[in-house]
Amino acid sequence: MDLDALLLSRLQFAFTLAFHIIFPSFTIGLASFLAVLEGAWLFTRREAFKTLYMFWLKIFALSFGMGVVSGVVMSYQFGSNWSVFSRVAAPVIGPLLAFEVMTAFFMEASFLGVMLFGWKKVGPGLHFAATCIVAVGTLVSAFWIISANSWMQHPVGYAVLPGGSLTAVDWVKVVFSPTFPERMAHMVLAAYLTTALVVGAASAWILLKDAGQPESRIALRMAIGMFAVVAPIQVLVGDASGKEVLKVQPVKLAAIESFWETKSHQALHLVAWPDRAIEGNRWEISVPDVGSFITAGRSDAVVMGLKDVAPRDRPPVFLVFWAFRVMAGLGVAMAGLGLWGAWLWWRGGPERSKLYLRAAVLMGPAGFVAVIAGWIVAEVGRQPWVVTGVLRTADAVSPVGAGQVSASLLAFIVIYAIVFSGGALFILRLMDRGPAVAEPQPTAPEAQRAPGTPLAAGTAGETP
Partner 1 sequence: MKTILQGPPDPAAPLAPIWRRLAWFFGLALLAAMAAILAAYAMKAVLTL
CB nearer to partner 1: pick between 118 and 365: 118
Decide whether 218 or 303 has the Cβ nearer to partner 1: 218
Residue of 10, 20, 127, 154 that binds partner 1 (CB under 8 A): 127
HSE at residue 283, side-chain half, CA atoms within 13 A, is 1
- Provide the minimum distance between the beta carbon of 77 and partner 1 in the complex, in angstroms, as a whole number: 11
114 counts as binding partner 1 under rule CB under 8 A:
yes
Part in contact with partner 1 (CB under 8 A); list of ranges 14-22, 87-95, 109-117, 259-267: 109-117
Under rule CB under 8 A, residue 112 binds partner 1: yes
Choose the binding region for partner 1 from 91-99, 117-125, 279-287, 448-456 (rule: CB under 8 A): 117-125
Contact between 130 and partner 1 per CB under 8 A: yes
The number of CA neighbours under 13 Å toward the Cβ of 110 is: 13
Report how far residue 111's alpha carbon sits from residue 117's, in angstroms, rounded to the nearest whole number.
Answer: 10
The whole-angstrom separation of Cα 414 and Cα 418 is 6
Using rule CB under 8 A, residue 427 touches partner 1: no
In 3D, which of 435, 391, 340 has the Cα closest to residue 93?
A: 391
Determine the interface stretch with partner 1 among 22-30, 57-65, 320-328, 415-423 (rule: CB under 8 A): 57-65
439 near partner 1 (CB under 8 A): yes
Exactly one of 119, 144, 412, 416 binds partner 1 (CB under 8 A); that residue is 119
Omega cis (within 30) before 435? no
Instruction: Return the range that interacts with partner 1 (CB under 8 A); candidates 24-32, 115-123, 296-304, 360-368.
Output: 115-123
Bridge partners, 387 (sequence order): 391
CB of 426 to partner 1, least distance (A): 10
Q: Does 118 bind partner 1 (CB under 8 A)?
A: yes
Phi-psi label, residue 45: left if phi above 0, alpha if psi -120 to 50, beta otherwise? left
Candidates 1, 120, 163, 429; binder of partner 1 (CB under 8 A) is 120
Q: Tell me which stretch binds partner 1 (CB under 8 A): 112-120, 177-185, 387-395, 416-424.
A: 112-120
Residue 54 is a binding residue for partner 1 (CB under 8 A): yes
- Based on the shown chain and the rule CB under 8 A, indicate whether residue 105 belongs to the binding site for partner 1: yes
Q: 218, 195, 216, 194: which is closest to 205 by C-alpha?
A: 216
The answer to whether residue 117 forms part of the interface with partner 1 (CB under 8 A) is yes
Asked whether position 57 contacts partner 1 by CB under 8 A, the answer is yes
Rounded distance, CA 185 to CA 234, Å? 8
Judged by beta carbon, residue 54 or residue 342, the one nearer partner 1 is 54
Instruction: Rank residues 169 and 428 by Cβ distance to partner 1 and give the closer one.
Output: 428
Cβ of residue 54: shortest distance to partner 1, in angstroms?
6
Which bin fits 316, alpha (ψ -120 to 50), beta or left (φ > 0)? beta
SS3 352: helix
- Work out whether 110 is an interface residue with partner 1 (CB under 8 A): yes
Q: Is the CB of residue 230 less than 8 Å from the CB of residue 181?
A: no
Exposed / middle / buried, residue 404 (Cβ in 10 Å: 0-12, 13-18, 19+)? middle
- Candidate list 7, 11, 61, 326; residue touching partner 1; CB under 8 A: 61
The 3-state DSSP class for residue 397 equals coil
Give yes or no for a contact between 152 and 93, defined as CB atoms under 8 angstroms apart. Answer: yes
- Check the CA dihedral 426-432-436-437 and report its sign: negative
- Min dist. Cβ of residue 36 to partner 1 (A): 16
Please state at what angle helix 402-433 crosses helix 5-44, rounded to 10 degrees: 20
Under rule CB under 8 A, residue 50 binds partner 1: yes
3, 98, 102, 126: which one binds partner 1 (CB under 8 A):
126
Is 258:317 a contact under the CB 8 Å cutoff?
yes
Residues 357, 203 contacting (CB under 8 angstroms):
no
Q: Check residue 106 for interaction with partner 1 (CB under 8 A).
A: yes
Residue among 130 and 220 whose Cβ is closer to partner 1:
130
- Give the three-state DSSP class for 329: helix
CB of 332: closest distance to partner 1 in angstroms? 38
Closest-CA residue to 189 (of 436, 374, 450):
374
Q: What are the angstrom distances between the C-alpha of 408 and each of 19, 394, 397, 401, 415?
A: 16, 19, 15, 11, 10
Residue 102 in contact with partner 1, rule: CB under 8 A: no
The answer to whether residue 121 forms part of the interface with partner 1 (CB under 8 A) is yes
- Stretch of 123-131, 183-191, 252-260, 394-402 contacting partner 1, by CB under 8 A: 123-131
Of the pair 78, 322, the CB lying nearest partner 1 is at 78
116 binds partner 1 (CB under 8 A): yes
Q: Which region, left, alpha or beta, applies to residue 265 given φ > 0 means left and ψ of -120 to 50 means alpha?
A: left
Kindly determine how many residues on this chain lie close enough to bind partner 1 according to the rule CB under 8 A.
Answer: 33
Q: Would you tell me which residues interact with partner 1 (CB under 8 A)?
A: 41, 45, 50, 54, 57-58, 61, 68, 72, 76, 105-106, 109-114, 116-124, 126-127, 129-130, 439-440
